Amino acid sequence: MAKPRIFRYSRFNLDALLALGYALRGQPCISDKSKPPMAGSLNWADLVSFDDGVECILRSPRSGRDTHLSDESACRMLASEAATLKYIRAHSLAPVPQVLSSRTGLRAFSLAIRLASSSPPTPLICIAKPAPTALRGRPGEGHESARGIVIVSQLSQHRFEKVGSLFQDSDNNYSVGECLSPSLIWRQGDSLDGTARGPFNGGRAYLESLISAYISHGLDTASRAS
């Protein structure tokens, strides 16, 4: 018997997921087993729908030979993304999804409410570059600009002493940890010895690390090819 298409990228406990959704929101929820999850280069995502019309996105790192990241780095990145969304939502009016639950480890995932105003998720590779158009005002553009200024002003009041990625501990405290920049961890970059990954004391140290990573990655690629 063929397995349901929802398990194309990972065989997870769907009943436990739906039970978690019910525990978090107090309402039954469903997910269509006949549809494969959406997928990008780093994560796969499945849609969970509640009786009141609210939709949540379950995201989990992809694994296997075709991924850009090791499983360990993918889990750390997912944890940092969840922490960043929580921090931005708590300290600004920026319209970011509400993270209901997240977990790292062997079965890393995050469950976040999908914004009502968001369009259906689309992998970046499927997005065609739009043709240039003449600049012109749009209805409500002034209000959007003013709101953007408010959000930037709010976030500018929260500065960190180091350059790196944001994490949240078990006591809900935020701190800056290692830098999960793609240039430092993608394509086996996280396995290269001698590359500093932070957190960095300033922009100069971060840029020097990028240069070191590019050189090390180039030498490693050349040695593999020879």
Q: Which two tokens stand for residue 134?
A: 């003449």
More confident call, 41 vs 100: 100
Helices (H), the chain: 14-25, 71-91, 141-156, 182-185, 203-225
Q: Is residue 169 part of a domain?
A: yes
Does residue 18 sit in the same domain as residue 101? yes
Give the alpha-carbon dihedral of 82, 85, 86, 87, to 10 degrees: 120
- pLDDT tens for 103-115 read 887 667 888 888 6
Same domain for 226 and 166? yes
**60, 75 contact by CB (below 8 A):** no
- Count up the domains in the chain and report the number: 2
Domain limits for position 218: 160-226
Measure CA of the first residue to CA of the last residue in the chain; give whole Å.
45
pLDDT band at residue 88 using 50, 70 and 90 as cut-offs: very high
Average pLDDT over residues 79-91: 94
Residue 105 has what DSSP assignment?
A: S
**108, part of any domain:** yes
List CB contacts of 75: < 8 A, sequence separation 6 or more: 61, 104, 105, 108
Assigned domain for 144 exists:
no
Share of the chain above pLDDT 90, in %: 40
For residue range 144-175, what is the model confidence (pLDDT) as tens digits? 788 888 888 888 898 899 999 999 998 999 99
Contacts of 15 (CB under 8 A, 6+ apart): none
Residue 57, domain member (yes or no): yes
> In terms of pLDDT, which residue wins out, 33 or 67?
33
Q: How confident is the model at residue 29 (pLDDT cuts 50, 70, 90)?
A: very high
Say if residue 83 is in the same domain as residue 193.
no
Single residue among 90, 117, 144 that ends a domain in this structure: 117
| pLDDT score at 165 | 97
